[in-house]
Amino acid sequence: MTRDLAQAHPFDTATRLEPLAEGRWRGHTAPAYGNMVGPFGGTTAAVALSAVMQHPARQGEPISLTVNYAGPVADGAFEVRAEPVRTNRSTQHWLVQLHQGDAVVATATAVLATRRDTWSSVETGFPAAPPADSLPRAQPLGRVRWTSAYDMRFVIGAPPSTGPVEAGGGDSVSLLWVRDEPPRALDFPALAALCDVFFPRLFVRRPGWVPIGTVSFTVYFHADAATLAQIGTRHLLGHARAHQFRNGFFDQAAEMWGLGGELLAVTHQIVYFKE
């Protein structure tokens, strides 16, 4: 291992892309971000966005990212293809696909844009929460490696095995402080991954394990790169809840806040569950 690799943050290792040709890269799943099976979906989303960010035709910063998890990602190498399908004066539209062998394992679309200063207003209130430093770090889940890659401090709605707060109430709301562990300066791929750290709402609402898998995941980015740089390595405050669990699928929605009350992103996903 070279000195450079030895010093890399595990998230950078997990999202590293080796160029193969214009618009094509090879990546590799990383044990530090392993899930029950295959990699943490947040890193898959981060990889899709990283490909767009590294493409020489890229213009602007991310506004939206949707990732569809088409099939299981096996541990090992994958190929990413990113194509700018339309470039306008201030927005750019991307299609991304992740392949393993002949199989599409994920598709993604992203929209980038050049932001301008306009009238702005946060309509949702910044959630009341005690400081991160005053809360204990939730115990990572031993069999879910990626949970060790985040420092999570729950205010409400921890899954039963992850912290001091009991679940099983009438709703699936969680409020938690979260950052990369070890700390890492925030950027767009890391924010995309952080938007997927909320445990499946099913496990908050109804303790007990069943097989689950995110089907589709969307992030709307409200922050620009300068705002992310100001956040740096500090915790974000995340608030998540479900609207409905029905016939094998549930949705979850979340907001991701900076300590200063900046709403950095809103995110939604729909998740399959089996029982």
Residues of the shown chain interacting with a copy of itself in the complex, contacts defined by CB under 8 A: 63-64, 66, 68, 70-71, 85-86, 88, 90-91, 93, 95, 97, 103-104, 107, 109, 111, 113, 115-124, 171-172, 205-206, 215-216, 218, 220, 222, 224, 241-249, 251, 253, 255, 263, 266, 268, 270, 272-273, 275
Residue closer to a copy of itself by CB (options 66, 147) is: 66
Q: Which residue has the tokens 């394990």?
A: 209
Positive or negative, the CA dihedral 217, 250, 209, 137 is positive
Half-sphere exposure of 40 (CA within 13 A, CB side): 30
Are 273 and 248 within 8 A, CB to CB?
yes
Compute the least distance from the CB of residue 116 to a copy of itself, in Å: 5
- Other CB atoms closer than 10 Å to residue 86's CB: what's the count? 10
Compute the least distance from the CB of residue 146 to a copy of itself, in Å: 23
Compute the least distance from the CB of residue 95 to a copy of itself, in Å: 6
Residue closer to a copy of itself by CB (options 131, 248) is: 248
| Calpha distance 245→247 (Å, rounded) | 7
Longest CA span, the chain:
51
Compute the least distance from the CB of residue 92 to a copy of itself, in Å: 9
Residue closer to a copy of itself by CB (options 5, 122) is: 122
Residue closer to a copy of itself by CB (options 68, 139) is: 68
Residue closer to a copy of itself by CB (options 29, 100) is: 100
Residue closer to a copy of itself by CB (options 28, 115) is: 115
Residue closer to a copy of itself by CB (options 28, 272) is: 272
Extended strands (E) in 167-206 = 174-180
* Phi-psi sector, 232: left (phi>0), alpha (psi -120 to 50), beta: left
Q: Which residue has the tokens 């030895």?
A: 6
Are 275 and 202 within 8 A, CB to CB?
no
Compute the least distance from the CB of residue 142 to a copy of itself, in Å: 27
| Calpha distance 197→179 (Å, rounded) | 10
Compute the least distance from the CB of residue 91 to a copy of itself, in Å: 7
Q: Is 263 helix (H, G, I), strand (E, B) or coil?
A: strand
Compute the least distance from the CB of residue 100 to a copy of itself, in Å: 11
Residues in the chain: 275
Candidates 267, 261, 222; CA nearest to 240 is: 267
Q: Is 228 helix (H, G, I), strand (E, B) or coil?
A: helix
